[in-house]
Amino acid sequence: MAVFGKLSTRFKQWLQSLDKEDTWCIMVTADPDAMGAAMAFKRLLSHRAQEVIIARTNEVTRPDNLAMIRYLRVPLVPWKPEMASEFQRFALVDSQPHHNPAFQDIHFSLVIDHHPVTAEHPVEAEYVDIRPEFGATSTMLARYLQLLRIRPGRLLATALLYGIRTDTAAFERSGSEQDLKAYQWLSRHADINLLRRIVRSEYLREWLPLFSRAFRTLHSCRLGAQAYLGSVKSADMLVAIADFFTRVHGLKWVAISGVCNGMVIVIFRGDGSRDIGKLAASCFRDVGSAGGHRTLARAEFPLTAVPDGKAGEFVQARLAGRRPRCLPAPVEYGP
């Protein structure tokens, strides 16, 4: 709290130094934590800027995220490269400049994030606050609001609450004392009925055939289980199915894979008995990006890196630690 108190003083001084005639673009890779944090920073810029927009660099397809945007009126606009010359100031929340090619050539005035900084990619901006000990960037923005004595409105409090909830998996996966304090404070101002509606918006009806395929193809693999689902329209489908299987008793970890836009994507979820971040890295880091945390991880690599394009066989072999064998051809599912 003391450290945040000092930061709030520095942050307040920085806010007071801003030119009210400036136009701002807050950039996000839209997920609940990023959207909640961006809404909070937009609130902090009120009366301190001529215009503030929140620009997303990704398509939002997950039903719970779409529900969040709808119910909480998140003012997102799609990012376009030509927008780089249309704003005087740029802010980045819940991410860092090297995380997305869209951020590469932007000069950021502010970066606030809870992901670790790497030695290869130091973060430079007028104001930088990066705290990997926190479970969510929404926690950081909620603490700024609280320490600056700004009461969040109903929709903003609900957005921040949902951001903390998703990034900590309702405190099952991670979360610090600061996350819990922020969550308790926000709960007094949030709309719990709206939050409940968003949480329950997990699946789309069009996804049900993919669940059926997952049930049919799921099989044991080194104390866990894996299923290859062929071609999918969105990686969010894989995430939803992997999350579903975490509710199966006795399943220590699961890997759900598929092909999306020429990339093979493997989504890992686990119960913590094995570090699946390390498992993902050991299986796939030589062909693409792979890694994560103890209970959730992801691997992603181009289909061109797979011998003969047999993605299912390749993923299964890597996870099982043996040579490939044939699997059925990919099947197209999804909206």
Query: What DSSP string describes 217-276?
Result: H-EEETTEEEEEEEE-S-HHHHHHHHHHHTTSTT--EEEEEEEETTEEEEEEEE-SSS-H
Sheet containing 296-302: order of strands? 219-221, 224-231, 253-260, 263-270, 296-302, 289-292
Question: Is residue 230 domain-shared with residue 278, that is, in the same domain?
Answer: yes
The DSSP bridge partners found for residue 26 are: 54, 91
Of 153, 176, 200, the last residue of a domain is 200
Of 200, 228, 253, the last residue of a domain is 200
Question: Is residue 212 domain-shared with residue 180, that is, in the same domain?
Answer: no
Question: Is residue 20 domain-shared with residue 37, that is, in the same domain?
Answer: yes
> With 0-12 CB in 10 A as exposed, 13-18 as middle and 19+ as buried, what is 16?
exposed
Query: Burial letters for 84-94: b for 16+ Cβ neighbours within 10 Å, e otherwise?
Result: eeebebbbbbb
Enter the tokens of residue 30: 């839209």
The residue range of the domain holding 252 is: 208-320
- Total domains in the chain come to 2
Question: Is residue 80 domain-shared with residue 117, that is, in the same domain?
Answer: yes
The CATH number of residue 244's host domain is: 3.10.310.30
Q: How far apart are the C-alpha atoms of 39 and 270, rounded to whole Å? A: 31
State how far the alpha carbon of 282 is from the alpha carbons of 17, 22, 35, 151, 219, in Å: 48, 47, 32, 46, 20
Of 152, 173, 200, the last residue of a domain is 200
The answer as to whether 22 is a domain residue is: yes
Residue 17, φ and ψ in degrees, nearest 5: -85, -5
The answer as to whether 82 is a domain residue is: yes
Instruction: Return the pLDDT at 6.
Output: 65
The answer as to whether 328 is a domain residue is: no
Question: Is residue 174 domain-shared with residue 34, that is, in the same domain?
Answer: yes
> With 0-12 CB in 10 A as exposed, 13-18 as middle and 19+ as buried, what is 302?
exposed
Q: Crossing angle for the helix pair 276-284 and 311-320, nearest 10 degrees?
A: 120
Q: How far apart are the C-alpha atoms of 52 and 30, rounded to whole Å? A: 16
Question: Is residue 50 domain-shared with residue 179, that is, in the same domain?
Answer: yes
The answer as to whether 74 is a domain residue is: yes
Instruction: Return the pLDDT at 328.
Output: 37
DSSP symbol at 299 = E
The answer as to whether 310 is a domain residue is: yes
Q: Are strands 253-260 and 289-292 parallel, antiparallel or unpaired?
A: unpaired
The answer as to whether 51 is a domain residue is: yes
The CATH number of residue 52's host domain is: 3.90.1640.10
Per-residue pLDDT of the chain (335 residues; tens, 9 = 90+): 555 666 677 888 899 899 999 999 999 999 999 999 999 999 999 999 999 999 999 999 888 999 999 999 999 999 999 999 999 999 999 999 998 889 988 999 999 999 888 888 889 999 999 999 999 999 999 999 998 899 999 999 999 999 999 999 888 767 788 999 999 999 999 999 999 999 888 777 888 899 999 999 898 887 889 999 999 988 888 988 998 898 888 889 999 999 999 999 999 999 888 899 999 999 998 999 898 888 889 999 999 989 888 899 999 999 987 544 433 333 333 43
Question: Is residue 218 domain-shared with residue 252, that is, in the same domain?
Answer: yes
Q: Are strands 76-78 and 51-56 parallel, antiparallel or unpaired?
A: parallel
- State which amino acid sits at residue 48: R
Question: Is residue 121 domain-shared with residue 60, that is, in the same domain?
Answer: yes
Q: How far apart are the C-alpha atoms of 93 and 114, rounded to whole Å? A: 9
Helix (H) or strand (E) holding 32: helix 32-44
Question: Is residue 212 domain-shared with residue 187, that is, in the same domain?
Answer: no
Find out whether 333 and 327 touch, Cβ atoms under 8 Å.
no
Instruction: Return the pLDDT at 327.
Output: 38
The answer as to whether 241 is a domain residue is: yes
Instruction: Return the pLDDT at 334.
Output: 42
Question: Is residue 142 domain-shared with residue 240, that is, in the same domain?
Answer: no
Q: How far apart are the C-alpha atoms of 167 and 188, rounded to whole Å? A: 20
Question: Is residue 35 domain-shared with residue 177, that is, in the same domain?
Answer: yes
The answer as to whether 227 is a domain residue is: yes
Instruction: Return the pLDDT at 78.
Output: 96
Question: Is residue 226 domain-shared with residue 162, that is, in the same domain?
Answer: no
